[in-house]
Chain A
Amino acid sequence: MAMTLSAPLRRRATTALLLVPLAAYIIFLAFPLLWLTSTSFKRPNEILVLRPTVIPKAPTLDNYREVLGPEGVVRASLNTMKVAVASAVLALAIALPAAYALARKQSRLNKAIIGWILVSQSFPSILIIVPLFLILARFSLANSHLGLIMVYVVWSLPFVLWILHGFVKGLPNELEEAAAVDGASFPQILFRILMPLLLPGLATTLLYAFVNAWNEFFFALVVLKDPQLMTVQVSLSRFRGLEGLARWGPLAAGSVIATLPAMAAFAFLQRRLVSGLLSGGLKN
């Protein structure tokens, strides 16, 4: 006679079965970070070996000492944080009203505008960098963080706008109409009714714009010439060498430090993202 499982046991077994691939996926995702952290504590003679180990045999802080030195990644990280936060917030501030207008105000131009937004994503950075730099130089914005922020805003704006447009379009018009019937003004509708429902979208796009700016290399390399203004990606490239070689230890240590703010941003915004989703579903 075949053995039958009770319903709670069956549920637990199903959950366990679902958790196994999830755990495997998390390990798969976490492994590069683990390897990076491990390398950051190794000396060169432990890195360039045929069978490297995950746990360093003779851990060292030398790599961290080097990257945290006077020309290290801390200042570069702070520079990047400033540029990434400012460009993400600005992009969002510009994109939100634009997305609202595109989603709510019907016009024959809308489709063309959305199309253009998508097409503009396909331009390679090398194509636009020279005219962009000349424009920045004309306004004395080359070699400045403000100039780089402008570039990043322009660079991430189309995608941010496109994503937000989808979010706004997904909200039913009836919500605004009901609020208007109840006597709410337009700013009240926007900030009290729509904003809480848009929080997941805002968090997603903010995160996108932030990470985009945080990881960007080429524009920063070209726009910023003063070593004091360098961003973290440009700063880390100093450890890259020739023919596949690099100074792996300092590169890993710098990368670990550079990863922390992005991880913190994810952790912070993830909470907001979840709370935004929940608040959208609650009836006050």
Chain B
Amino acid sequence: MRRIRLLIAALLVAFLASTGASTAGTAPVRVRFVSLAWQKTAVEAVKEVVTAWNRTNPAIQVDYAQVDWGAIHDYMLTSFQTGNVPDVFHYESIPILDFAKRGFLTDLTPMITPEMRADIFPGAWQTVLSEGGKIHAVPYLWESLIIIYNKKLFRDAGITPPTKEKPWTWDDLQRAAKTLTKDLNGDGRTDQFGAAIGLRSPVNRVLNLSIGFGGNYFYVQGGRNVVLVGEAERALLTILMNMLYVDKTASPDGLGRGSPELIPGFLAGRYAMLPGIGVWARQSLVETAPADFEWGVLPPLKAKTQYQGSATQTLSIPAAAKNKEAAWRFIEFALSRDNMAKQALGDWLFPTRQSSIRLSGFTTTKYGWDVSTDSVRFLRMAPWQKVLGYSEWRTRLATPLMNELFANRITLDQFAERVVAGSAEILDRYR
């Protein structure tokens, strides 16, 4: 019995010694950097940047950590609450504005150099501009919604793809979708749809694309944010409902799936176009498409304009960060022309620096980069990005209602009525 006790005691001591809190050396300043890059090439690009920094800056060492998009919000909120924050973190412009308003972030305005300020697209700066013109995050990646098409199916149907100079309108898209929708084996069922649109979480996509119709959804009336669903807001919804239930040119597969989940069907020739898919999803196509599969990217559709809303991915420094100056120096390095380009290419997104986006990687015709990159000039900050309570509005109200609409369980009028009525209750709470 005594032997057993001694053994247990020895094991316990050894275990406690091995699990004690880590106490790293204190010589170099440590900067903890949380990144959300997840695609293989994106992770490699970020690691390359971090390694290059650590090699050339022995006094400031960056510790790279990866967190996933699904967990980052809770991760950062708990970090802010507990004070145990990373020194630099990657996120996106919409929640960043909320974090800034709650005092969680360092004001980066005095640190941003004139060179950086001038080089990053003004539209990208707009997405992170807090009240009073302060900037709490540097926007460095952004995306547009593109249309990916099957070149062979277009050729077989005799359809000439539009060009950057002469883009399609939404009417053109609907006409092409009709031509491309076919019952190939004569069994009375559609085997090939003109399009498939991922509508599982449709709100951001619909709102971003509605900007081209002049539909903002959110307006300020008497100093309050209100939601209005007028003709401009209804235009895109009407088109989508027509494609789904009148023309039946959009596959019902899109109702329960996100756009990237439609790629297998696209590769199998079940859908000729994937409208409204994120530009980054091209990487999945490159990874999965057979060598002889021909695909391309169509320019943004023209409604009243070709504008679309876009958020940016950002780097920020928490207000509670211990090494703000070192953190900022790393941000400057990570967001230099070449490093920003490297990370954007790795993530199949656009860099926000004008000098980066002019590099050859973004203008090549390969993988539709030239057409995709051209869409950057139509990106705008959507007004809803700065509406407090938007996240709750989207999750609790707009998403279920849009799902009901797209499942054809309610009419467009009912959708409009309910979304307007429900919005007031949510948005007023955030005043």
Contacts and interface: CB of A to CB of B under 8 A. Distances in A.
6 contacts: A50-B270, A144-B21, A222-B75, A226-B63, A244-B258, A244-B261
A239 B38 contact: yes
Interface in B4-44: 15-16, 18-22, 32, 38-40, 43
A146 B70 contact: no
Interface in B59-80: 63-71, 74-75, 78-79
A227 B15 CA distance: 20
A130 B82 contact: yes
A133 B81 CA distance: 9
A106 interface: no
B257 A244 contact: yes
A181 B261 CA distance: 71
Nearest to A51: B268
Interface stretch (A9-17, A40-48, A196-204): A40-48
A243 interface: yes
A21 B290 CA distance: 41
Nearest to B22: A226
Interface stretch (B95-103, B281-289, B361-369): B281-289
A147 interface: yes
Contacts of A229: 22
Contacts of A225: 32, 65, 84, 86
A222 B79 CA distance: 7
A74 interface: no
A245 interface: yes
Interface stretch (A134-142, A162-170, A206-214, A263-271): A134-142
Interface in A218-277: 218, 221-222, 225-229, 237-245, 247
Given A50-B264, A86-B15, A239-B38, A245 B71 contact: no
Nearest to B293: A45
Closest 10 CB pairs of A and B: A243-B258, A144-B21, A145-B19, A50-B268, A44-B287, A146-B19, A244-B258, A237-B68, A48-B288, A133-B82
A247 B258 contact: no
Given A48-B288, A130-B78, A238-B66, 16 more contacts: A45-B287, A126-B74, A133-B81, A133-B84, A134-B82, A142-B82, A217-B71, A221-B67, A227-B66, A228-B22, A238-B43, A241-B38, A241-B39, A243-B261, A244-B200, A247-B39
B383 interface: no
Interface of B: 15-16, 18-22, 32, 38-40, 43, 63-71, 74-75, 78-79, 81-84, 86, 198, 200-201, 257-261, 263-265, 267-268, 270, 278, 280-281, 284, 287-290
A45 B289 contact: yes
A242 B205 CA distance: 14
A149 interface: yes
Contacts of A245: 258, 260-261, 281, 284
Of B32, B82, B265, B280, most buried by chain A (CB within 10 Å of CB) is B82
Contacts of A129: 78
A45 B81 CA distance: 43
B84 A48 contact: no
Nearest to B64: A227
A227 B20 contact: no
A143 interface: yes
Of A144, A228, A243, most buried by chain B (CB within 10 Å of CB) is A243
Given A44-B288, A48-B284, A227-B64, A144 B270 contact: no
A58 interface: no
Nearest to A144: B21
Contacts of A222: 74-75, 78-79, 82
Interface string A80-111: 00100010000000000000000000000000
B84 A144 contact: no
A95 B166 CA distance: 73
B268 A49 contact: yes
A219 to B, nearest CB: 10
Given A49-B268, A143-B84, A245-B261, A237 B20 contact: no
A142 B392 CA distance: 31
Of A50, A237, A245, most buried by chain B (CB within 10 Å of CB) is A245
Contacts of B79: 222
A140 B260 contact: no
Nearest to A126: B74
Nearest to B15: A86
Contacts of B68: 237-238, 240-241
Contacts of B64: 227
A243 B278 contact: yes
Contact of A221 (B19, B21, B71, B259): B71
A108 to B, nearest CB: 36
A45 B63 CA distance: 33
B65 A227 contact: yes
A218 B74 contact: yes
Nearest to A49: B264
Contacts of B84: 133, 137, 142-143, 225
Given A50-B265, A237-B70, A243-B201, A82 B82 contact: no
A51 B68 CA distance: 28
Nearest to A44: B287
Of A44, A129, A242, most buried by chain B (CB within 10 Å of CB) is A242
B288 A144 contact: no
A135 to B, nearest CB: 10
A133 B257 CA distance: 37
Contact of A147 (B21, B75, B198, B264): B21
B190 to A, nearest CB: 15
Given A48-B284, A137-B84, A238-B38, A144 B22 contact: yes
A217 B82 CA distance: 18
